[in-house]
């Protein structure tokens, strides 16, 4: 009877492990689908829209050299303004393309990518990583990056000048805590910023929580499952 009980227990464990593996696989598919779409958008903007804008800027530059334009100062000024505006739009597009999936994120990881965000931030932003993070599926990596970047941007907008600390840790989940010492009273507003990210994270089991009492501080925490397959290490040694 004892061997039969052990066999039944093993059968239940195998069934549970199989269900967990299926859940992890399905959530990885969701995450990967997000990344496929993100990369498609990045490619379309880079290879399509950006090239049209570059060509338009070149044509405006050529038009400005026309003798008829040189003889008409008002028209020359108008073309110069149009070209300058177009170049600003092109630079904004390039910034957007770089922000869709920064190359440093894939090359050097989440902490390094957020160091770049911190360096470009208007106020003081500190990135704290007490222990090395594990290798993460690309979609989890990207989701964590965009959550942290959005939370840092929100802190700069609603608590200007307040120091911000971003803490990155990982066990069974990647946890990102963003704390600012502002006046508090922050909320996640449906249809805006963090609300959209919360919906996206929920699609593969992630959560976002906020604590922001009046008087501060404000803490926004995301927990993203690592989506590890059975046997994959969760933490680097």
Which two tokens mark 175?
């946890």
pLDDT score at 95: 65
**With 60 as the cut, is the pLDDT of residue 233 above it?**
no
Is residue 217 included in any domain, yes or no?
yes
* Alpha-carbon gap, residue 32 to 17, rounded angstroms: 22
CB within 8 Å of 50: residues ≥ 6 apart: 90, 93, 94, 97
Q: Are residues 60 and 117 in the same domain?
A: no
Please indicate, yes or no, if residue 211 is contained in any of the structural domains. Answer: yes
Q: Give the pair of three-digit tokens for residue 22.
A: 């299926």
pLDDT grade, residue 236 (50/70/90)?
very low
The pLDDT tens digits of the residues spanning 106-141 come to 788 899 999 999 998 888 999 999 998 888 877 788
The pLDDT, as a whole number, for residue 217 is 93
The b/e string for 15-53 (b: 16+ C-beta within 10 A; e otherwise) is: eeeeeeeeebeebbeebeebbeebeeebeebeeeebeeb
What domain range is 169 assigned to?
A: 105-225
* Number of domains forming the structure of the chain: 2
Q: At what angle do helices 138-158 and 2-44 cross, to 10 degrees?
A: 60
pLDDT of amino acid 126: 96
Report pLDDT digits (tens) over 27-54.
555 556 556 666 666 666 666 777 877 8
Q: Is the pLDDT of residue 71 over 50?
A: yes
Last residue of a domain, one of 100, 120, 150: 100
Same-domain pairing of 23 and 109? no
User: Which of 156, 159, 169 has its CA nearest to residue 118?
Assistant: 156
Phi–psi pair at 176, nearest 5 degrees: -125, 115
Judged by average pLDDT, the poorest of 45-59, 157-171, 175-189 is 45-59
The span from the CA of 180 to the CA of 58, in Å, is 45
Boundary (domain end) residue, out of 43, 70, 100: 100
Is the domain of 221 the same as that of 109? yes
Predicted confidence at residue 237, as pLDDT, reads 35
CB 100 within 8 A of CB 113: no
Q: Is residue 236 part of a domain?
A: no
Nearest alpha carbon to residue 168 among 113, 120, 124: 113
Band of the pLDDT at 162, cuts 50, 70, 90?
very high
Nearest in space to 102 (alpha carbons), one of 126, 120, 124, 128 = 120
- Banded model confidence at residue 74, pLDDT cuts 50, 70, 90: confident
Q: Are residues 14 and 118 in the same domain?
A: no
């Amino acid at each position: 009877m004892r061997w039969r009980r052990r066999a039944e227990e093993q059968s239940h464990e195998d069934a549970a492990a199989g269900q967990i593996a299926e859940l992890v696989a399905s959530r990885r598919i969701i995450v990967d689908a997000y990344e496929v779409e993100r990369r498609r958008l990045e490619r379309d903007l880079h290879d399509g829209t950006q090239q049209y804008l570059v060509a338009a800027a070149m044509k405006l530059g050529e038009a400005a050299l026309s003798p008829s334009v040189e003889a008409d100062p008002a028209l020359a000024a108008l073309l110069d303004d149009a070209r300058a505006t177009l170049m600003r739009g092109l630079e904004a597009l390039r910034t957007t393309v770089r922000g869709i999936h920064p190359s440093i994120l894939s090359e050097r990881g989440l902490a390094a990518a957020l160091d770049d965000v911190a360096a470009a931030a208007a106020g003081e932003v500190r990135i704290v990583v007490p222990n090395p993070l594990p290798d993460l599926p690309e979609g989890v990596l990207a989701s964590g990056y965009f959550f942290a970047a959005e939370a840092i941007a929100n802190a700069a907008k609603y608590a200007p000048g307040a120091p911000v600390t971003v803490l990155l840790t990982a066990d069974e989940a990647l946890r990102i805590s963003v704390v600012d010492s502002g006046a508090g009273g922050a909320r996640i507003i449906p249809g805006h910023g963090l609300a959209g990210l919360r919906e996206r994270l929920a699609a593969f089991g992630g959560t976002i929580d906020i604590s922001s009492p009046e008087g501060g501080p404000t803490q926004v925490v995301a927990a993203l499952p690592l989506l590890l397959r059975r046997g994959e290490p969760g933490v680097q040694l």
